[in-house]
């Protein structure tokens, strides 16, 4: 493949972040050129295809922080993306086991159960699918 000598947008790295960014740039600015550089022979050969494959629910972030909200939003959007394209997704849920009273709902500062309860993804009919 020959790379263009000029481009409106240059994205370096064809993992999930670079590919999503390039796609979004093309969607928003359809008339602009977007070039993606990948050092490997194909895209997605590193972390994006070698991870645990979990759609995180934001349990490990303090409830209502930007990270927790983005994680939850990402969970919903990726779920919708998979459904629209008939991609297999196991909604197996998550069992959070407390290691002490501090992890119980209402307890601070850890309160993982609270974070989980507040960041619980909902299915299309409102059922809990975290």
Write out the residues near ligand FAD by the rule CB under 6 A: 12-18, 37-40, 45-48, 51-54, 56
Q: Which residues contact 103 (CB under 8 A, 6 or more apart)?
A: 96, 110, 111, 112, 113
Which residue reads 């008339």 in tokens? 31
Q: How far from the centroid of its chain's Cα atoms is residue 39's Cα?
A: 23
- Nearest to ligand FAD of 70, 102 (CB atom): 70
- Nearest to ligand FAD of 53, 93 (CB atom): 53
CB of 126 to ligand FAD, least distance (A): 24
- Nearest to ligand FAD of 91, 104 (CB atom): 91
CB of 66 to ligand FAD, least distance (A): 16
Residues 56/32, Cβ–Cβ less than 8 Å: no
């Amino acid at each position: 493949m020959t790379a263009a000598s000029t481009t409106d947008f240059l994205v370096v790295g064809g993992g999930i972040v670079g590919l999503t960014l390039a796609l979004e740039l093309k969607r928003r600015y359809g008339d602009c050129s977007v070039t993606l550089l990948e050092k490997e022979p194909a895209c997605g050969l590193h972390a994006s295809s070698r991870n645990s494959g979990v759609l995180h629910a934001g349990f490990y972030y303090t409830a209502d922080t930007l990270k927790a909200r983005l994680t939850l939003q990402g969970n919903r959007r990726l779920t919708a993306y998979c459904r629209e394209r008939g991609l297999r997704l196991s909604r197996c849920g998550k069992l959070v086991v407390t290691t002490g009273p501090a992890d119980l709902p209402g307890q601070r500062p850890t309160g993982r159960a609270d974070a989980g309860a507040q960041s619980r993804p909902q299915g299309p009919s409102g059922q809990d699918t975290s």
